[in-house]
Amino acid sequence: MTYLASRETFDRKLQEMLEQVLILGSMVEAAIQQSMRALQQHDRKAARRIYMADIKINEKRYAIENQCVALIATQQPMARDVRFLTAVFEIITELERMGDYAKGISKITMQLSEERNELDMFLDLQHMSDLGLNMLRRVLDAFVTKDLETARAIPKDDDTVDDLYNKINNELIRRVIADANTVEYANLLLWAAHNLERMADRVINICERIVYVATGEMIELDLSEGFLTGFSNEEK
């Protein structure tokens, strides 16, 4: 087999792997959306289904991981290919953990002992979810298109997610101070908010991997501090 033919085969397998990453991302997005719907509707049956379905996300992650290992073992990847494959390892791990957050929100729904009228609270939680999922869609598009500009811009949205988390946290603390009987309920809602906040943080980790694939530099996209920090491969 000529080098050109071998390279074409390798590139095709990389493209197939990329498509599988996008499928995993879609599975995670659906799980987050469904878990939030179950939480707002206090639908314990739906929450249990989402909780049990998390294994499918795990299986997809491991299948992609095995593809990566097989390519590294059977091909002779160039430096940029190695960066891509290591990025895929990291990205599917981040996605699988986001799936765990959907599972966690579903568990919270199953644990809620009472149904309350929490429209404002649920609106803020839904806003966090919507922002996080928008970040997720954009980062996966950026990974496919190698869009560095978008990868570097997405972390700015995390500040809004953090602000919403702090708003929910402060409101729940106020309620607990006013009525100690709300402690358990408040703690569960705070964990739901925490899961959504962490989802956005995981998106930023993916942004950093996109920069690494394109430039070979590991950069911490800490925009909340007003700067980027990082180092190239040569500086490790």
Query: Quick one: average pLDDT of 77-92?
Result: 89
Provide, rounded to the nearest whole percent, the portion of the chain with pLDDT above 90: 70
DSSP label at residue 220: E
How far is the C-alpha of 231 from the C-alpha of 212, rounded, in Å? 10
How far is the C-alpha of 102 from the C-alpha of 121, rounded, in Å? 18
Q: Are strands 217-220 and 229-232 parallel, antiparallel or unpaired?
A: antiparallel
Does the pLDDT value for residue 15 go beyond 50? yes
Q: Which two tokens stand for residue 212?
A: 């690494």
pLDDT of residue 232: 44
Does the pLDDT value for residue 51 go beyond 90? yes
Does the pLDDT value for residue 121 go beyond 90? no
Residue with tokens 């920090």: 229
Give yes or no for a contact between 211 and 217, defined as CB atoms under 8 angstroms apart: yes
DSSP state string for 72-102: HHHS---HHHHHHHHHHHHHHHHHHHHHHHH
Per domain, the residue ranges of the chain are: 3-226
Q: Which of 172, 105, 157 is nearest to 127 (CA)?
A: 157
Query: Quick one: average pLDDT of 229-235?
Result: 44
pLDDT of residue 221: 78
How far is the C-alpha of 112 from the C-alpha of 107, rounded, in Å? 9
Does the pLDDT value for residue 233 go beyond 70? no
Does the pLDDT value for residue 22 go beyond 70? yes
How far is the C-alpha of 197 from the C-alpha of 191, rounded, in Å? 10
pLDDT of residue 35: 97
How far is the C-alpha of 136 from the C-alpha of 200, rounded, in Å? 8
Q: Which of 71-80, 98-107, 226-235 has the lowest mean pLDDT?
A: 226-235
Query: Quick one: average pLDDT of 213-222?
Result: 82
Residues of 44-71 as b/e, b for ≥16 C-beta within 10 angstroms? eebbeebbebbeebeebbeebeebbeeb
- Bigger pLDDT: 113 vs 108: 108
Cα 213–chain centre separation: 18
Does the pLDDT value for residue 48 go beyond 80? yes
How far is the C-alpha of 18 from the C-alpha of 1, rounded, in Å? 25
Query: Quick one: average pLDDT of 93-118?
Result: 90
pTM of structure: 0.89
Q: Which two tokens stand for residue 93?
A: 């791990």
Spell out the alpha helix ranges (H) of 112-182.
119-145, 148-153, 158-178
Q: Which of 110-119, 194-203, 221-230 has the lowest mean pLDDT?
A: 221-230
Give yes or no for a contact between 99 and 57, defined as CB atoms under 8 angstroms apart: yes
Cα 76–chain centre separation: 30
Domain 3-226 has CATH 3.40.1580.10: no
Does the pLDDT value for residue 224 go beyond 70? no
